[in-house]
Amino acid sequence: MKIKAIVIALFCTLLLFLYSCNNPFMERILGNKNNEEGPYTGPLGSGTPGDPWRVYNVDTLRRVGRETDPGGWTLDAHYEQVRNITLSGNWTPIGSDISGNHFTGRYNGNGHTISGLTINETNHYKGMFAYIGSGGEAHNIGLININFELGGSGGVGGIAGQNDGIVTNCYVTGAITIIGTGGQGVGGVVGINSGTVQNSYSTSNVAGNTFVGGVVGENQSSGIVRNCYSTSAVNGGNDVGGVVGRNANRVEYCYATGRVEGNNNVGGIAGTSNGVLQHCVARNTGIDGTVPTARGRVVGTFSGGTLNNNYGTSVLDYLGDVGTAEKGGQNIDANQWNSAFWWYNDVGFSDTIWLLQDYALPFLR
* The predicted structure's pLDDT at residue 34: 45
- How far is C-alpha 269 from the geometric centre of its chain's CA atoms? 16
User: What is the mean pLDDT of the segment spanning 260-272?
Assistant: 96
CA distances from 230 to 193, 199, 214 (A): 16, 11, 6
Q: Is residue 3 scored above 90 in pLDDT?
A: no
pLDDT of residue 22: 45
Bridge partners, residue 273, by sequence: 247, 302
pLDDT, greater one: 77 or 23: 77
Q: What value, to the nearest 5°, has the Cα angle with vertex 325 and ends 329 and 233?
A: 35
Compute the Cα dihedral for 274, 275, 279, 285 and give only its sign.
Answer: negative
| Torsion sign, CA atoms 37, 38, 42, 47 | positive
| pLDDT, tens only, 268-321 | 999 999 999 999 999 999 999 888 888 899 999 999 899 999 999 877 766 655
Give the angle 251-325-354 at the CA atoms, nearest 5°: 35
The span from the CA of 354 to the CA of 340, in Å, is 10
What is the rounded distance in angstroms from the CA atom of residue 353 to the CA atom of residue 148? 30
CATH code matching the domain that covers 52-364, chosen among 3.30.1370.60, 2.160.20.110, 1.20.140.10, 3.40.190.290: 2.160.20.110
Which backbone phi and psi does 91 adopt, to 5 degrees? Answer: -95, 135
Mean per-residue pLDDT of the chain: 89
pLDDT of residue 292: 83
**Percentage of residues in the chain having pLDDT higher than 90:** 76
Tell me, what's the pLDDT at 144? Answer: 98
Q: What is the sign, positive or negative, of the torsion defined by CA atoms of 269, 274, 275, 277?
A: positive
Beta bridge partners of 311: 281, 330
What is the three-class DSSP state of 74? coil
Query: What confidence tens digit (pLDDT) does each residue in 318-332 have?
Result: 665 554 556 788 989
Classified as helix, coil or strand, 30 is helix
Domain boundaries, the chain: 52-364
Q: How confident is the model at residue 26 (pLDDT cuts 50, 70, 90)?
A: very low
Is residue 157 within 8 Å of residue 216, measured between CB atoms? yes
Predicted confidence band at 28 (pLDDT cuts at 50, 70, 90)? very low
Give the model confidence (pLDDT) of 97-144 as tens digits: 998 999 999 999 999 999 999 999 888 899 999 999 999 999 999 999
Confirm if 247 and 221 have CB atoms less than 8 A apart.
no
Confidence band of 38 (pLDDT split at 50, 70, 90):
confident
Asked if the model's pLDDT at residue 32 lies above 80, the reply is: no
Q: Which residues pair with 240 in a beta bridge?
A: 212, 266
pLDDT at 317: 61
Q: In Å, how far from its chain's centre is CA 194? A: 14
The mean per-residue pLDDT over the stretch 71-96 comes to: 96
- Mean pLDDT, rounded, for 261-265: 95
Cα 334 from chain centroid (whole Å): 27
Is the per-residue pLDDT at 19 higher than 50?
no
Q: Which helix (H) or strand (E) holds 335?
A: helix 334-337
pLDDT tens per residue across span 174-205: 999 988 777 799 999 999 999 999 999 999 99
Residue 122's contacts (CB-CB under 8 Å, 6 or more residues apart) are: 150, 151, 152, 153
pLDDT at 7: 47
Q: What is the pTM of this model?
A: 0.88
Nearest to 142 by CA among 122, 128, 123, 126: 128
| 90 DSSP 8-state letter | B
Euclidean distance between CA atoms 60 and 216, whole angstroms: 28
What pLDDT is attached to residue 23? 47
Distances (CA, A) of 311 to 32, 44, 271: 45, 49, 15
* Cα–Cα distance measured from residue 249 to residue 193, given in angstroms and rounded to the nearest whole number: 10
CA-closest candidate to residue 191, choices 138, 154, 239, 166 = 154
Mean pLDDT confidence for 221-232: 97
